[in-house]
Structure 1
Amino acid sequence: MMAHLADDLLAIYGALRGAFGHQHWWPAETAFEAMIGAILAQNVSWKNAAKAVRNLEDAGMLDPELLAAADTAEIARLIVPSRFYNQKAERVREFARVYVAEFGADPVAMAAAETGALRRRLLSIKGLGKETVDSILLYACSKPIFVVDAYTRRIFSRYGLLPAGASYDLMQRFFMENLAPDVELFNDYHAQIVFLGNNICKKSPLCARCPIQEVHESLWCAEGMGAKDWNSGGD
């Protein structure tokens, strides 16, 4: 861990939380709801995913045994708000089948599995990518896995902390190698990044409103004042 990067990343988090408050993620009442929500949130806003989750709940289908045995057309009909509902119905059913068959539909048993092995198993389920699986690990299983996404790339590349074309793995390593493993920190840090990306660091950014600019006088957004690359040792 590089001390200055750890300090900088914690300062950025502090600035975001100070500006926006704790985000209280993941917005789910049960671990299984968080798991299904992570799948339904692929390529769509949480607002739309939440509608699909509520539809499943209202129909009495937010149950691993029922989803594992359901016809995909029945699931698809209920999750239309999540978009790509036919594909997602297949992913939901397959995940539910694994959850029931291998973990007894028990979130405690799933969370007790070794992190690396569990991650590999979930990634082997067709249609579940790294962001989805890591969201399940962090938000449903309380594993200290840092979730990254397109907002992470956009924000931290604009500030010169990550390359513009940074891969998922590179971004994740950047955070996990420079921050101590902390579920609560990783939980809210990712949520803060999503909030910033949604509301301020958009494709056309509102740089004057970005709390990160207050962290360090030599840190400037590439969209505005010209970023310095902390990884290159610039100060």
Structure 2
Amino acid sequence: MFLNVYEVLFKFFGPQNWWPADDRFEVCVGAILTQNTSWSNVEKAIRNLKVHGYLSPERILELDSDILKSLIRPAGFYNQKAERLKIFSRFLLESGGFESLSKLSNYSLRETLLSLKGIGKETADSILLYAFSKPIFVVDAYTKRLFYRLGLIDSEKIDYDKLRKIIEGNIPADITIYNEFHALIVRECKEFCRKKPVCENCPIVRMCRFYERKG
């Protein structure tokens, strides 16, 4: 069923080419900045960093904290996020960069990322999948909403890792599918499976238990 959902969404929306970034560090910055804000706001903050030549771990560490806060202000919570960007940048440089960290197992790298202040499971898994090309599925509120309405899970309050393992156990361990599926879920939930759902023309309405109950 999970794979069927992916196939229908992919056929309807096409490839999403997510995560939009020029390099792996930009992916990580985006994953940190997107906490509790919209992607359009993150893009503004990243653009500010790029324009001023600060989108690298070295430059972020050198940057005065107040200047960094002003540059990422569009992403909100800029005090906390500035601190987190500096913590992550220091960690990346002291750990030998992406090439060195890529040699760690999924579990070890995930646990290391989760030990950093301000990095939770969704942020860590986004970094693992999109920056390190590690096969791990990213779960977010959209994922829980969609699969609950489809009747594939019993509650939107399901534990993060429990749902992640359910999904990973029902689709091929393919980085491309993990990447596209997560992006397609976000697209579906923004356009159709909103908090107040727009069921008309939804590509997966025939699979939806929520729609059946509503009807």
Q: Give the TM-score of the pair, scaled to structure 1.
A: 0.87
Alignment of 1:29-68 (within 5 A): 29-68=22-61
Q: Which residue of 2 aligns with 1:118?
A: 109
Paired with 1:187 and 1:139, the residues of 2 have a C-alpha distance of 7
2:139–2:163 contact (8 Å) kept in structure 1: yes
Q: Which residue of 1 aligns with 2:67?
A: 74
1:196 paired residue among 178, 188, 199: 188
Alignment of 1:1-235 (within 5 A): 8-103=1-96, 106-164=97-155, 165-214=157-206, 219-222=207-210, 224-226=211-213
Paired with 1:193 and 1:80, the residues of 2 have a C-alpha distance of 28
User: For residues 40-89 of structure 1, what are the alpha-carbon distances to aligned partners after superposition, in whole Å with 9 as ceiling and x for unaligned?
Assistant: 11111111111111111111110111212333222111001111111100
Paired with 2:64 and 2:87, the residues of 1 have a C-alpha distance of 11
**Paired amino acid for 1:167:** D
User: For residues 187-206 of structure 1, what are the alpha-carbon distances to aligned partners after superposition, in whole Å with 9 as ceiling and x for unaligned?
Assistant: 00000000111111001101
1:39–1:128 contact (8 Å) kept in structure 2: yes
RMSD across aligned positions (CA): 1.4
Could you say what secondary structure the match of 2:5 adopts? Answer: helix
Shift of 1:212: 1.6
| Segments of 4+ moved more than 6 angstroms | none
Shift of 1:130: 0.5
Shift of 1:220: 2.8
2:46–2:72 contact (8 Å) kept in structure 1: yes
1:68–1:100 contact (8 Å) kept in structure 2: no
Shift of 1:114: 1.5
Paired with 2:11 and 2:38, the residues of 1 have a C-alpha distance of 24
Unaligned runs of 5+ in 1: 1-7, 228-235
Paired with 1:188 and 1:75, the residues of 2 have a C-alpha distance of 32
1:23–1:188 contact (8 Å) kept in structure 2: yes
**Paired amino acid for 1:196:** E
Could you say what secondary structure the match of 2:35 adopts? Answer: coil
Unaligned runs of 5+ in 2: none
Q: Percent identity?
A: 44
Paired with 1:151 and 1:52, the residues of 2 have a C-alpha distance of 23
2:151–2:209 contact (8 Å) kept in structure 1: yes
Shift of 1:110: 2.2
Paired with 2:88 and 2:154, the residues of 1 have a C-alpha distance of 33
Paired with 1:97 and 1:220, the residues of 2 have a C-alpha distance of 46
Q: Give the TM-score of the pair, scaled to structure 2.
A: 0.95
**Paired amino acid for 2:196:** S
1:16–1:212 contact (8 Å) kept in structure 2: yes
2:3–2:170 contact (8 Å) kept in structure 1: no
